[in-house]
Amino acid sequence: MTDFFNKVKQHFQNNLPFVIYKKPNTELINGLLQNDDKLNISQNLSESGFIFSSFDTNKKILIPKNNSQEISADFISESIILNSKIQSDINETDKNNFEFIVAKAIQEIENGIFSKVVLSRKEIIDLPNFDLSSLFIKLASSYPSAFTYCWFHHEIGLWMGATPESLLKVKLNKFQTEALAGTQLYQDSEEVLWHKKEKDEQQYVTDYIVEILSKSVCEIQISTPKTIKAGNLLHLKTEIQGIIHNNTNLKDLVLLLHPTPAVCGLPQIKAVHFINNYEGYNREFYAGYLGEINYNDTTETDLYVNLRCMQIQNNTENNKAHLYIGCGITKDSIPENEWFETVNKAMTLKNVLL
């Protein structure tokens, strides 16, 4: 991997756009090193390359395959001892503010405004001795079942993450997506009891996806929910697959799916309105989507939701990581519990960073 990362670092030093990534449960890292510093915007997701979309989809940045050097290498996993003794310093002001917003959301749910909303917050931590390749290897080694990536454009910034959630896979006329919701701390076993709040939250996502896709696809198959492990967390996942109608294209499917209730809420428009009014910060590319589009002769697409991610402010004096974390709010939510869910999710990244 040394030659691979040397090329990436040289590209980074030259301030040129690139992306490197490792797909879940694979032993290969891929990269696209853009040949110039142009900011390419995808108009209709018909191009071939790697897409990086903001949550509000106003920015859909493309690293085009036809104007980039493709690189790859076998991934050699390292033995990583996660720093599980890290204690999260609780900022009481942040905690109180977040719990206030959660309580407001629960009140809106009880008033029938929406049935679910996903609320998030941002933490900024110092990142001493930042090294791009070392951090990528640590993330990919620690979370082999996640989609691990590092993305850079000088006009946007440097983003990294290890997301457990697939948004959409398309190959020829077949598609696959998933509903992912509910969170528990992993405690030495994936045989856990899921409570009504998590089960309901997961079912909301599943029902919504099936309903919105029903007019654009057929032969829908839905798996039974199962527990999956993502770092030190467990989630409930249901897989959904089927056949795409001939008059439906990639842009149509993505518009239907994003943002899913797993990162936004139900109904979508009212949930987005609440998020914009109360979260108090710009999500930017957090909870957006990223991945390969129309990547080969079979026009294969493989997109992921940008969760468990961070934006890195990289300079010679003081590197900082902006961590983005969220949780789903339903009528059964308890504000303090939701706060600590975001704390646990932040620890997923902090255990690697610190």
Domain limits of the chain? Answer: 2-79+91-353
CB 286 within 8 A of CB 306: yes
CB 333 within 8 A of CB 197: yes
Burial (CB < 10 A; 0-12, 13-18, 19+), residue 323, is buried
pLDDT of residue 198: 84
What SS3 state is found at 137? Answer: helix
pLDDT of residue 199: 86
Instruction: Centre a 10 Å sphere on the Cβ of residue 128 and count the other Cβ atoms it contains.
Output: 9
- DSSP-assigned states of every residue in 80-118: ----TT--PPP-HHHHHHHHHHHHHHHHHHHTTS-SEEE
Residues in the chain: 354
d(CA 338, CA 248): 38
Give me the phi and psi of 228, to 5 degrees please. Answer: -125, 155
pLDDT of residue 148: 97
Peptide bond into 259 cis (omega under 30): yes
Which tokens is 205 given? Answer: 């996502």
**Cα radius of gyration (the chain):** 20
Q: For residue 26, which amino acid is it?
A: T
pLDDT digits (tens, 9 = 90+) for 119-138: 999 999 998 888 999 999 99
pLDDT of residue 73: 98
d(CA 140, CA 131): 14
Q: Tokens 């679910």 — which residue?
A: 116
- Taking CA atoms, 2 is separated from 7, 52, 102, 152, 162, in Å, by 9, 26, 46, 19, 21
- pTM of the entire predicted model: 0.93
pLDDT of residue 85: 54
- Residues of the chain scoring pLDDT < 70: 81-89, 316
d(CA 28, CA 270): 41
What SS3 state is found at 177? Answer: strand
Which tokens is 322 given? Answer: 């902006």
Task: Provide the pairing of β-strand 174-185 with 217-222.
Answer: unpaired
The number of helices, as runs of H, and strands, as runs of E, in the chain is: 7, 19
pLDDT of residue 104: 98
d(CA 49, CA 346): 30
Fold of 2-79+91-353: Anthranilate synthase (3.60.120)
Instruction: Centre a 10 Å sphere on the Cβ of residue 71 and count the other Cβ atoms it contains.
Output: 18
The helix or strand, by DSSP H or E, that contains position 252, with its residue range, turns out to be: helix 250-257
Facing residues of 22 across strands? 29, 148
